[in-house]
Amino acid sequence: MVVCTGECVHPAMGGTGPDQMICYEAWQKEPVWIKASVEVSDFTRSQGWRLNHFSTDALSEGISIWELKLNPEDFKGYNPFCAVNILHDRLFLEYDKTDMTTYLNRRGMVFCDGKPLLQVQLYGQLGTQENAYWVEANGQTVHFRLRGDQDPGKHLIEITCREQCFAPEIPFLSYIKVKGITCAHAAGGAPVPQRGSISCYRGHHWIIEDCEVDWANGVGIDMGNECWHHCVPEDQIIGNTIIRRCRIKDAGVCGIAGLFAQNLLIEDNVIEGTGWQKMELSWEAGGMKIHNCTNSLIRRNIFTRTFRADHLWLDCNNENNRITQNLFLVGIEQREAVFIECTRDGVNLIDNNIFWNVEGRFDAGKVQEETGSSGWYKMEEDGIVNGYAIYAEGTDHLYIANNLIGKCRSAGYFAKAVAFRMHGNLRGGTSRDARFINNIFYECGEAAIKMPTEKNQAEGNLYVSMNGGVFKNTISGSPLLS
C-alpha cells in the first residue's frame, strides 16, 4: 500500500485526445491513498478554558480534553481551520430562516482511527459532548475530547490540511484518466464553487474509474464549470466525462457535482452517506447534483443513506437524459429521492429504477409554522408532509416508466408548476406531459401521483397498498389526468 499524507496531486498537463490520454493509475492494482490530512501526536492537556461560568479548569471536572497547536509546516498556504464552510457565493441563504451553524463551522476536520469527530461551536460544549473538537478563533489551535475520555496517544489522530486530493491548478486540462486511487479527508468548503476531493477543474473528457472518495468536507467529485460566475472561453467544452465504478462515501454536501456538464456517463457507482453537513437548502446538496445536464446517461448507480438531501438533483434546462437501472434507497429525512427542476423543453426519461423508503424531511409534530427556505423550496402551499420518490418542479415532458416506487411518506410523484426562473422572461414550466407507464407504486402515504395540472398520462401502472388513494390533484377543481 502507498499512502501519501498531507498531499494534493496537481496534474501539470492533459492529453491531446481520446487515444492520447494521460493516466494516473494505481500500479498493478496496489492500494494507493492520497490523504489531505496528516497524523498528529504532539498533544498537551487543555488548560485555561472554562467549561462553564462556575468552573476554573476543564480538568477539575474530571473530563479529559486535549489541546493541539497546529504546525504551520503542515498547511502551506491553506489552513481549513481558519476558514468557515460557506464560500463566496451566499446568494441562497435566508439568514432569518436558516440555521447558520453548519455554514459557519470551520472546514478543518479531526479524525480518530479514521472516524470524524463532531465540531462544536463553544469550548464549554466539550463538557457534555464526547468525540468532539473545538477550534480557537484564530484557527491555530484545536481542542478535542475522545469517547470515554481516552488518551489520544493510543489512537491514530489525523487533521485535515489540504482543500483537495487530486486537482489541477490550471483550468481546462482535459483527456485525463484517474483509476484505482482512494482520496480521503479533503477539507473543501461548501459549494459553490464546486471543488471536489477529485476535481476535473473545468476540463473535459476525463475518465474517473475504480476510485474511492472518503470523508470529503464538501464535494466528492466535481466535473463541470465549477462556478456559475466563471466566463467560459468560446468553444470551450464542459463535460464529456465518465465516472464509473467509484465509491463515494460520506461527502458532507455533495457526492458528484457538475455545472453545465454535458454528454456524461455516470455508471456503476456507489454514493452513500452524503449530506452530513445538513445543507439541503444550499442549492448544491445531493448524492449527485448537476446543472443544465444534457445528452447524459446515469445508470446502475446505488444511492443510499443520503441525509437531508436528494439522491439525484438535475437543476434547470435538462434535456435528453436517461436515468435508468439505479437504486435509490434509504433517504434519511429526505424530501425527495430525485429532483428534476425547471426543465421546459427537452424530454427526460426515468426508467427501470427502484425507489425505496423516502421518509420525508419533516415531522409534522415538531415543525413550526414557517421553517426553512421559502419560495419554490416550499413543497406545498398549505402543508408540510413530503417524502417523494420523484419531484418535478416547473418541469415538462418527464417520462417515468417501469420503475418500482415504494414506501414514500407522501407520494411516488409530486409536481409543481413554476411560472418564472427562465432566462429572458420566457415562460416557466407547466408540469404537463408527465407520462407514467408500467410502474409499480407501493405504500405511498398520500397518493401514488400528485400533480397540479392537466394533460398528463398514466397507463399500465400497478398500485398496491395505497391507503391514501392513487391520484391526488394539488389544485382543487382542475382535472389531473387527460
pLDDT digits (tens, 9 = 90+) for 143-166: 999 999 999 999 999 999 999 999
Angle 204-233-347 from CA coordinates, rounded to 5°: 60
The band of 481, judged by pLDDT with boundaries at 50, 70 and 90, is low
pLDDT at 244 over 50: yes
pLDDT at 478 over 60: no
pLDDT for 60 equals 58
Could you report the per-residue pLDDT of 35-55, keeping only the tens digit for each?
A: 999 999 999 999 888 887 666
The band of 381, judged by pLDDT with boundaries at 50, 70 and 90, is very low
pLDDT for 174 equals 96
The band of 56, judged by pLDDT with boundaries at 50, 70 and 90, is low
* Strands ordered across the beta sheet of 242-244: 22-25, 176-179, 206-209, 242-244, 265-267, 297-299, 321-324, 348-351, 398-401, 435-437, 457-459
pLDDT for 422 equals 59
| Partners of 454 in beta bridges | none
Q: Tell me, what DSSP letter sits at residue 70?
A: P
Report the amino acid identity of residue 147.
R
The band of 425, judged by pLDDT with boundaries at 50, 70 and 90, is low
Please choose, from the candidates 180, 141, 186, 178, the residue with its C-alpha nearest in 3D space to the C-alpha of residue 162. Answer: 186
**% of the chain residues with pLDDT over 90:** 67
pLDDT at 471 over 90: no
pLDDT at 262 over 80: yes
The band of 384, judged by pLDDT with boundaries at 50, 70 and 90, is low
Helix (H) or strand (E) holding 102: helix 101-104
pLDDT for 78 equals 93
